[in-house]
Amino acid sequence: MAKREDIRNVAIIAHVDHGKTTLVDQLLKQSGIFRENEAVQERVMDNGDLERERGITILSKNTAVKYGDVKINIVDTPGHADFGGEVERILMMVDGVLLLVDAFEGCMPQTRFVLKKALGLGKKPVVVVNKIDRPGARPLEVVDEVLDLFIELGADDDQLEFPVIYASGRDGYATLDPAVPGTNMVPLFEEILKHVPAPEGDPDGPLQILFSSIEADDYVGRIGVGRVERGKAKYGQAAVLCRQDGTTQACKITRLYQFEGLKRVEVEEASLGDLVCVAGIPTLNIGETLCAPDCPEALPFVKIDEPTVSMNFLVNNSPFAGREGKYVTSRNLRDRLFKEVETNVSMRVEETDSADTFKVSGRGELHLSILIETMRRQNFEFAVSPPKVIMKEIDGHLCEPMELLMIEVPENYVGAVMEKLGSRKAELLNMGTRETGVTHLEFRIPSRGLMGYRQQFLSDTNGNGILNHIFDGYERFKGEIPRRMQGSLIAHESGTSTGYGLFNAQDRGTLFIGPGVEVYEGMIVGESPKNEDIVVNVCKKKHVTNMRAAGSDDALKLTPPTNLSLEQSLEFINDDELVEVTPKSIRLRKAILSKELRMKSASKAK
């Protein structure tokens, strides 16, 4: 077994918003990747439109920096639990991890999740306490919290001896003493070289590359991203692909790339420990191994966690179908969804009894809403049903997914939060107060109980609360949970909404639309405060007469409508409702548009 001392492979793992992508920016800048006068945007690794808008990482990204004579391959991973499938497989490509923890927030649910995966795979951690310049930072306390978490997750003695470094990604420095600010990232680079193991293996043995992710390229087709586990990969080399079902397929490496900075650079050959991109295998899937033809040995791959939430994607059949989208047929929808599954490992797509409906399952509401938002930006038009949790039968009992929920709120909002979560079958595990007057609460709650709660939480805490949750296994079914106490305001007829019609309707509840909006019968135009649906005529026009009376022509005062985002719409709808998604609009509607047919259906159900 030989070691390659000129290379290190490291992944950056952390809870969402603890500063992974910003830290990578600094490592890139200080390693001289960019020219002196090059204009570089912030969070340069988040290159997707949705990632930049929301300030989150959705797909893991690879980059490489040079420090002295050593090439450091860095993988930036997502922080949201919904993209946990990305994190799990990326850890297969690296030898060590930088565990980033916010110096103020400390260990959060996702910190626990990513660390558990890394320790389980035996990766060597380097703990980086980030944002030490933040007001209220408590770096030394946070290190104790991290140690407790390591012990709780069953780390071995070697992993417990983790090095700690303090950093400010925003100000671009790392230091070994939190009381003494540093001047640059050199201490962090040094810790990576010292503590992240160099790749080990047989550099002269037969080729083995394990593919952990897939990229699509319009010119060269599918590109497998993986790590050379043994031997050398050469441009033009013949090889065999070992599939997970035990079959093999002959293929050839038509292009070979490595990472330099943010670019993929074509190379002639790559050796043991290199992270490479291989083109030329059109049927490649994640978790497969590329081997030398005379030695086809597949490598084991990490088991990806199962989806916990599903929803139906349907062909849009509203009166406005086909007006705004380019891809509207069931064939368009089917092809796009099955294409998604090729690269999105933790997503499943199943066909249903109806040719127009597909069941899509993912790791959470955010995971599915990102897919919906991406598709609408690609000119697809379709409808989706409300998200539902996926139940399992374990030992003859019906079981449901549970979440570990962590909440931080100012003390005066604790009562309201506890009351709402109590009715949603949450049990309190832990409660503590921070010096800043913020209360930290930990609950265990059914995933169903969290659906539709985020909006409620924001109003109960006046936007001052922080809520994080993570999947925490299956437990026996907890009984019914009331989903939504309010009904919907439903448009009575097709037409265009008028100020007069809306003025009369706004007394009945909260409106979602303003004047001059086209509506159709059965479309949801607002929320009713009662626990029943109310049909309103928002297209009603004022009768024109030649009689004039004092006060009858006063200007009508309309309350501004509440505009729901895609996530809020998915949280709002009930089981008999759908969200119609087009490139230009998001509309809410009843699954059965006609009032008569809805009433017949309801009486049959009773």
CA dihedral over 533, 534, 535, 538, signed as positive or negative: negative
pLDDT range class, residue 228, cuts 50, 70, 90:
confident
Please report, rounded to a whole number, the percentage of residues in the chain having pLDDT higher than 90. Answer: 3
Please check the confidence at residue 324 and state whether its pLDDT lies above 50: yes
Confidence grade of residue 262 (pLDDT, cut at 50, 70, 90) = low
Q: Is the pLDDT of residue 109 over 80?
A: no
The answer to whether the annotation marks 130 as part of a ligand binding site is yes
The pLDDT-based confidence of 384 (bands split at 50, 70, 90) is very high
Domains of the chain: 2-200 (3.40.50.300), 202-291 (2.40.30.10), 392-476 (3.30.70.240), 487-563 (2.40.50.250)
Question: At 470, is the pLDDT very low, low, confident or very high (cuts 50, 70, 90)?
Answer: confident
Q: Is 19 annotated as a binding residue?
A: yes
Summary mean pLDDT of the chain:
80
22 is an annotated ligand-binding site residue: yes
Cα–Cα distances in angstroms (integers) from residue 384 to residues 170, 275, 317, 588, in the given order = 40, 39, 11, 10
The model carries a pTM of 0.70
d(CA 278, CA 260): 15
Q: How confident is the model at residue 176 (pLDDT cuts 50, 70, 90)?
A: confident
Is residue 18 part of an annotated ligand binding site? yes
Choice between 388 and 363, residue whose per-residue pLDDT is larger:
388
CA dihedral 39, 43, 47, 52 (to 10 degrees): -110
Amino acid at 207: L
pLDDT at residue 303 tops 80:
no
Q: What is the pLDDT of residue 312?
A: 92
Range of 221-225, 253-257, 443-447 with top mean pLDDT:
443-447
- Is 132 annotated as belonging to a binding site? yes
Task: Name the range with the highest mean pLDDT among 150-154, 262-266, 445-449.
Answer: 445-449
How far is C-alpha 486 from the chain's CA centre? Answer: 29
pLDDT of 26: 73
**Encoding tokens for residue 310?**
């599903």
Give percent of the chain above pLDDT 70. 86
pLDDT for the residue 47: 42
pLDDT for residue 43 is more than 50: no
pLDDT in tens, 177-224: 877 777 887 888 888 888 888 888 887 888 888 888 777 666 777 788
Q: State both tokens at 432.
A: 């503590």
Name every residue whose Cβ is closer than 8 Å to that of residue 245 and which is 6 or more positions away in sequence. Answer: none
Asked if pLDDT for residue 122 goes beyond 70, the answer is: yes
